[in-house]
Structure 1
Amino acid sequence: MALTDLCNGILARGVVGTDDVLALRRVVFDEITVTPDEVEALFRIDEGTEKRVPEWRAFFLEAMTDWLVRQQEPSGYITPQQADWLIARIGADRRVRNGTELELVVRALELADEAPASLSAFGLSLVTRAVVENDGRISADEVQRLRRLVFALSGPGRMAVTREEAAALFDLNDATRGRDNDPGWTDFFMRAVANAVTAAAGWAPPDREESLRRQRWLADPDDGIAEAAQRTRDPIPETATDRQTWIARALEWALRDPAEAVFEERLESRTQAASTAAPVNGEEARWLIDRIGRDGEFDDNERALIAFLREIAPTTDPALQPLIDRLAA
């Protein structure tokens, strides 16, 4: 059955059943890759049906992350164009679908090596909207989703929390003050904000252009594996066993330069992180003082944050000491 017919039939019923998911899988993965038309059709089904079997969510997320993360060259890089399209597409109907659309943003950031910062910021805004528009409290699921967002590998902080993400968490804390939030929110909030002012960013993968360059190098018959094979200076052996050894040696030469480059990048980044991760400096202290007292009130979560900072960064900028003395007493 054609995708259009399947989509129209499901929308007419308003229900996605198990047989529908199986039929959609056959169509969408028939040629392995997911097309933009198929992506749009799946969004229409997700938005236009009231009842969906659990298998639908798994299929929707699998197809969408394939298209976003795995099918572009090089694999693992979400382009700015894709991020802009996804943000616009999810925001088109002004509704937040936690189980599919929001989870798609989080999972894509977890799976990708690199993604635009705008996508992470959009994910945080969706969680905030979901909290405020529903019952106004932060649930355990939402705490876990926030944790996955801010520590995603492809996030702007590279598994560290950025100043912008910390500011968004402060806004969410202000908006839910006095609510029956999950107890895990306090622990996550204080650790995430403390991370933003004390930790260095983690290792970042090569950018998309550099990754493409390395991929082209490996595939180049004149300057990739073939050229590396010549470096072995050995003729191609006649026996199958010896040929396998020769091929393995050639591949080792071919992959040596990129592998060593990536290793050196990781090592340099870790060394830099170790040397730059330090107690709260003057600029960070001023930001924290301004942000933590912006609404004129100090709640238990902010007190926990200051107590935590006093514990993990006992040597800090003097500007922060009065706030520490006031809130962590």
Structure 2
Amino acid sequence: MTINFPELARQAAADGAISAEEVLALRRVAWPDGRIDGGEAEAILAINDLVAEKPPEWTDFLVEAVGEYVLNGTEPKGYVADATADWLIARLDHDGRLDSQAELELLVRVLEKALGTPDSLKAYALAQIERAVLTGEGPTRSGGALDAGSITEAECNLVRRVIFASGGDRPAAVSKAEAEMLFRLKDATLGQPNAADWQRLFVQGVGNYLQGWNNARSVTRERAAELESFMADTSTGLSRFFGRMARTDAAALRTAARDVLGGSQTPTRDFAAEASAEAAVTGAEHSWLQSRIDADGHSDPLEEALLAFLAEE
């Protein structure tokens, strides 16, 4: 490596700025081996902490480089390890909050690209957005220029990206905790000049939780590691098995499979029927929804829009 990351961090701290040319140099030396290691990720975040003046190119580099380490720094690749998630939160957190839009974008991009993450990572990202809406302070608030108690287009976009991200407790679907967060945001921003997309996001998000298919689950990090280990096994027995498979006539394999499956009385799983059944709001879900609507003694326009959506569906 022609550029020493820790040394550059010290230089940047002394200068108080990093140029677009220096960002380009970092990008050139970061990717030749196709990976970012822990020391490089730490140094990049140190530069982010220490430098006040950063060009627009910095955000893209930070998100891509540190995201590469978080997503692919441990096996199986694409799954964020618990220890890595804890490290990232601790490294970005400044007294319970994030300082920049770049740091929040890093969290959101990891959640979008990951095959699986600890639930704590999504919860932390959503907490940052909720805090900004409620207090008027944080990385989505344009340096404090926006008032508390309303939700902006940027915040709507971030919430949508996070709650429907592939990483987290319900991949690409809204969890109960996330639906409750949407209700808190709704209650805190009623009657305010909110983003045009806010009502639709609230209705779609809570509706997804109530009608989503709970049996849709991603492969866990632990199970993915087991499968990778199995496929990487080069023991004699496994090699012989795959060798026999390779030498067996494909037509004979298909015939054998039909014979086995044809004699089985196990019914084929009807995924469409399962998903359709899950779309019905259960008694427990109805009680949960009613308790949220009754919390303040009356229904509001967003709750009425949600009820109309559920009735139509």
TM-score tier, shorter chain, comes to 0.7 to 0.9
What is the aligned counterpart of 1:228 among 231, 242, 251?
242
Shift of 1:98: 4.9
1:225 and 1:27 mapped to 2: Cα distance? 40
Q: Where in structure 2 are there 5+ consecutive unaligned residues?
A: 251-267
* Structure 1 residues 139 and 220: CA distance shift in structure 2, 3 A: same
Alpha-carbon distance between aligned partners in 1 of 2:14 and 2:190, rounded to the nearest angstrom = 43
Contact 1:292 1:298 in 2 (8 A): yes
Give the CA deviation at 1:84: 1.7
Alpha-carbon deviations, 1:131-153, whole Å to 9, x = none?
23232221112111111111111
Q: Say whether 1:147 aligns with 2:149.
A: no
1:99-121 CA-to-partner distances (Å, cap 9, x unmatched) read 31111111111111111111111
- Quick one: which amino acid aligns to residue 181 of structure 1? N
* 1:164-195 deviations in Å (ceiling 9; x for gaps): 10001111111222221101000010111111
Q: Distance in 2 between matches of 1:88 and 1:272?
A: 44
Quick one: which amino acid aligns to residue 23 of structure 2?
V
- The answer to whether the 8 A contact 1:3-1:27 is kept is no
Any residues of structure 2 matched to 1:54-203 within 5 Å, and which?
54-132=56-134, 133=137, 134=141, 135=146, 136=148, 137-201=150-214, 203=216
User: Does the 8 Å CA contact 2:173/2:208 hold for their aligned counterparts?
Assistant: yes
Cα drift, residue 208 of structure 1: 2.1
Query: After the TM superposition, which residues 32-47 of structure 1 pair with which residues of structure 2 at under 5 Å, given as runs?
Result: 32-47=34-49
Q: TM-score, normalised by structure 2?
A: 0.82
After the TM superposition, which of the residue ranges 47-56 and 106-115 deviates more from structure 2?
Answer: 47-56
Q: For residues 97 and 268 of structure 1, do their structure 2 counterparts lie closer, same or farther at Cα, with a shift above 3 Å needed? A: farther
How far has the Cα of 1:226 moved from its partner?
Answer: 6.1
Counterpart AA for 2:216: W
Instruction: Tell whether the 8 Å contact from 2:59 to 2:102 is kept in structure 1 after alignment.
Output: yes
Q: Measure the CA separation in 1 of the matches of 2:97 and 2:222.
A: 35
The answer as to 2:306 corresponding to 1:292 is: no
The structural deviation recorded for 1:231 is 2.9
Alignment partner, residue 48 of structure 1: 50
Residue 15 of structure 1 aligns to a residue in which SS?
A: coil
Rate the CA distance shift 1:97–1:224 in 2: closer, same or farther, 3 A: farther
Q: Tell me the distance in 1 between the aligned counterparts of 2:109 and 2:246.
A: 43
Contact 2:97 2:128 in 1 (8 A): no
Residue aligning to 1:324 = none
Once structures 1 and 2 are overlaid, which stretch shifts more, 6-15 or 287-296? 287-296
Distance 1:23 1:93, change over 3 A: farther
| 2:195 aligned partner, one-letter code | D
Distance 1:272 1:215, change over 3 A: farther
Structure 1 residue corresponding to 2:225, chosen from 212, 234, 242: 212
Q: CA deviation at 1:130?
A: 2.3
Q: Residues 273-292 of structure 1: matches in 2 within 5 Å? A: 273-292=274-293
Give 1:61 shift.
0.6
What's the CA shift for 1:272?
6.7
> Percent identity of the aligned residues?
35
Paired positions, count: 283
Q: Is the alpha carbon distance of 1:288 and 1:26 closer, same or farther for their aligned partners in structure 2, counting shifts above 3 Å?
A: same
- Are the equivalent residues in 1 in contact too, given 2:169–2:175 (CA < 8 A)? yes
CA RMSD of aligned residues (A): 2.5
SS at match of 2:190: coil
State which of 8, 11, 17 in structure 1 corresponds to 2:10: 8
- Quote the Cα distance in structure 2 between the aligned partners of 1:277 and 1:29: 45
Structure 1 unaligned residues grouped into runs of 5+: 235-245, 250-266, 313-329
AA at the equivalent of 2:307: I
> 1:8-47, CA deviations, whole angstroms, 9 ceiling, x for partnerless residues?
1112222221121123224433543222222222122222
43-52 vs 215-224, greater mean Cα deviation: 215-224
C-alpha displacement at 1:298, in angstroms?
3.2
Return the TM-score normalized by structure 1.
Answer: 0.78
